[in-house]
Structure 1
Amino acid sequence: MQSVAAAAGVSPMTVSNTFRYPERVQGETRRRVLQIAAELGYVPNHAAGNLASGQSRVIGAVIPSIKNSSFYNYVRGMQDHVATEGYQLILKLADTLSQEASAIRTFVGLRVAGIALVGNEHENDVLTLLRKTGVPVVESWVHHDPFDMAVGYSTANATRAITNLLIGRGYRRIGFVGYQGDVSHRFTERVPAFREAMEEAGLASERVFLVDQTDGFGAGPKALEGLCRIDPKLDAIICPTDIVAAGVLFECGRRGWKVPERLAVAGWGDYEIASEITPGITTVQPHAYEMGQHAMSLIIQRTTGNSRQNTIIDSGFHIVRRASA
């Protein structure tokens, strides 16, 4: 605060009021203080209860959704691990990069011991802030090129695995459902991997249809209709989530199609519905619980000075075979 005040030519109280009571500070002064604070990487310290050493035993985590069981298991893994180490976990939801940035600033202000994020797409301003503060950061569901540390798996490898499973079971006219628009790398790298697997097997790879990420179950009928327009003899379909796969199964029921006799269906995520629906959905199962544990372990080891040499952990995946394919 002293450094910001000196650089802005104001008192420390003015800096404090800029963040706590901005209405008390003139507009031009407030903008100058905020600009200098951003340049210096200053965020007010809200963690008055931190230990005298300045080390926090609170870890912040940002996730984009709690709608599916993959993130539920991921959070449960984080929560269980920090509990055994005497830490606390604060969780914030962020559907957009702007919301994620706000959550990160809150965590930095709380002087958390570390921050766990999902994916590696972030606003440039918060990346600058994280570099200046030096807070340990783990990006989950990521397996390469991390900002700091990462734990995840290759969605490209998982795509090849599920595609090759269907090919091995005799399906040849396989369709792939992806997401349109600005989506994370864990979705965009799947389509090229699908095309490669199909082409390596000497099969056509043009059966790709993109749906809106917010459509949920409704994406299933849309995807099936779109892929059948591309190829009316479609015999298998790979979906981006088990929710979309379940939507396809519902549509098959309406059409009177038997699964997998008329159409094989594969999903992704191993959500609870995948094992409870009939027929059960063949799916990709990320090791979400273990991913959450590894993420917390990386942060705690960094804060205690026992950092791993390897700051990227491949948490792996496996294919769960059920009756749908």
Structure 2
Amino acid sequence: MGKIDNSRRARKKPTAAKAAGPAAARGARMTDVARLAEVSIMTVSRALRHPAVVDPETLKRIHGAINATGYLPNRIAGSLASQRSNIVGLVVPSLRNSLFAETVKGVADTLGADFDLMIADSGYVLDGEETAVAAFLSQRVCGIVLHNTKHTPRTRRLIQSAGIPCVETGNLVRRPIDMVASFSNRKAAFEMTAFLVGKGYRRIAFVSLPLRDNDRARERQSGYLQALKQFGLPVDRRIVLESTPGLRGGAHALIELMKVRPKIEAVFLTGDVLATGALLEANRNGWLVPDTIAIAGSDDNELQECVSPALTSLRFPRYDIGCTAASMLLNRISGNLPAAHIVDLGFQIIPRQST
């Protein structure tokens, strides 16, 4: 009887638990993940950086191997090698304004655990945005989301020179730096003014934030004026106001408007806080809404629904805007072109008791 050559026996593949043991003891490496998933180190690296371009079954095996070995990707080392981090930068005009919270959440939810989100407050000034963008680029961010659609020349140059994807979200501009996901402020203001005209109001006042360095406010005023012209209504510049932000700003604007003769019949305030401030001031003075003065707002939220009377308002899909902006970035980061570089997510008019 011949002897059995043990060296030629078929060798079983190591189980995940056994394979993970030595790796866990010394700290798992990418080579351990590649060995367990039966792929090359290059494929593991690609799966970590650009998962969308890796075969789904292969990606599943790689993630299983990562879980089994306890491998933690070294993002710092990866950023040094690629000159890019897994960080996305987001600049909003104010972190104190809840208006931007839904967009931030949409971006964060869509980026998920594979990317970190760095948020900066520009303080409603273009120079503040420029400073934030420069700081982001020094951290080698892989993409940027901006609320503003008007920028300093240097901000534009910095982003374009960096060669990273950028999505603007505050207004549906025709010529974005790179991509835009938003709605038309001009069209929204036009439609709200047309809605008020359709309700029978003719002396319609308009209140916005200051127009300087704020293309969104300018676009909204332009839509209001366009609607008056289209419906053959005269423009009275005494009832077209710019206001400081906040409840007091809306209240003060309404006080000034109520002094004008002939009397105004309705006022469209292009902000949730402005409109709420005006409504509270009307209630305080005993000006019946909408009998004495109709009030319409913008950026609809729970507050405008719960005040009395509930405010007619424009509703913008800010969460969806954040999700779409992040998806557009991720497509570009993965090397794919988005279906469109200008995405219009529209708006709604929410009629309530204030008009």
Class of the TM-score when normalised by the shorter of the 2 chains:
0.7 to 0.9
2:145 counterpart of 1:116: yes
1:11 match:
none
2:233 counterpart of 1:203: yes
Letter in 2 for 1:269: D
For residues 242 and 78 of structure 1, what CA distance do their matches in structure 2 show? 22
> Which is worse superposed, 226-235 or 306-315?
226-235
Normalised TM-score (structure 2): 0.74
Letter in 2 for 1:122: H
- 5+ residue gaps, structure 1, are 1-45
C-alpha contact (below 8 Å) 1:59/1:113 kept by paired residues: yes
Give the CA deviation at 1:180.
3.0
Structure 1, residues 265-311: CA drift from partner, whole Å, max 9, x if none?
A: 00010133211211111111111001101111111101101111411
For residues 142 and 254 of structure 1, what CA distance do their matches in structure 2 show? 35
C-alpha contact (below 8 Å) 1:217/1:247 kept by paired residues: yes
2:125 counterpart of 1:94: no
Equivalent residue in structure 2 for 1:188, among 218, 221, 246: 218
Matches within 5 A, 1:244-255: 244-255=274-285
For residues 92 and 49 of structure 1, what CA distance do their matches in structure 2 show? 24
**What is the root-mean-square deviation in Å for CA atoms of aligned residues?**
2.0
Matches within 5 A, 1:3-152: 50=79, 52-83=81-112, 86-95=114-123, 96-144=125-173, 145-152=175-182
SS at match of 1:291: helix
Letter in 1 for 2:221: V
> Which is worse superposed, 56-65 or 66-75?
66-75
2:330 counterpart of 1:297: no
1:306 match:
336
SS at match of 2:291: coil
Letter in 2 for 1:279: P
User: What is the aligned residue count?
Assistant: 278
Higher relative contact order (CA 8 A, sep 6+): 1
C-alpha contact (below 8 Å) 1:70/1:286 kept by paired residues: no
2:257 match:
227
2:213 counterpart of 1:213: no
Give the CA deviation at 1:70.
2.7
Structure 1, residues 182-220: CA drift from partner, whole Å, max 9, x if none?
A: 141111112222122122222222153323333x11122
2:63 match:
none
| Higher Rg of the two aligned structures | 2
Normalised TM-score (structure 1): 0.80
Letter in 1 for 2:344: D
Letter in 1 for 2:231: A
SS at match of 1:266: strand
Letter in 2 for 1:119: N
Residue identity (%): 34
C-alpha contact (below 8 Å) 2:207/2:267 kept by paired residues: yes
- 5+ residue gaps, structure 2, are 1-74
C-alpha contact (below 8 Å) 2:92/2:148 kept by paired residues: no
Give the CA deviation at 1:76.
0.8
Structure 1, residues 98-147: CA drift from partner, whole Å, max 9, x if none?
A: 22112111211111110111122222223222222211111111212101
For residues 311 and 276 of structure 1, what CA distance do their matches in structure 2 show? 37
Give the CA deviation at 1:54.
4.3
SS at match of 1:176: strand
Give the CA deviation at 1:49.
5.5
C-alpha contact (below 8 Å) 1:279/1:323 kept by paired residues: yes
C-alpha contact (below 8 Å) 1:158/1:317 kept by paired residues: yes
C-alpha contact (below 8 Å) 2:91/2:121 kept by paired residues: yes
Task: Flag the 1:202–1:123 CA change in 2: closer, same or farther, 3 A.
Answer: closer
Letter in 2 for 1:141: G
> Which is worse superposed, 123-132 or 72-81?
123-132
1:276 match:
306
2:16 match:
none
Task: Flag the 1:154–1:181 CA change in 2: closer, same or farther, 3 A.
Answer: closer
1:17 match:
none
For residues 82 and 158 of structure 2, what CA distance do their matches in structure 1 show? 22
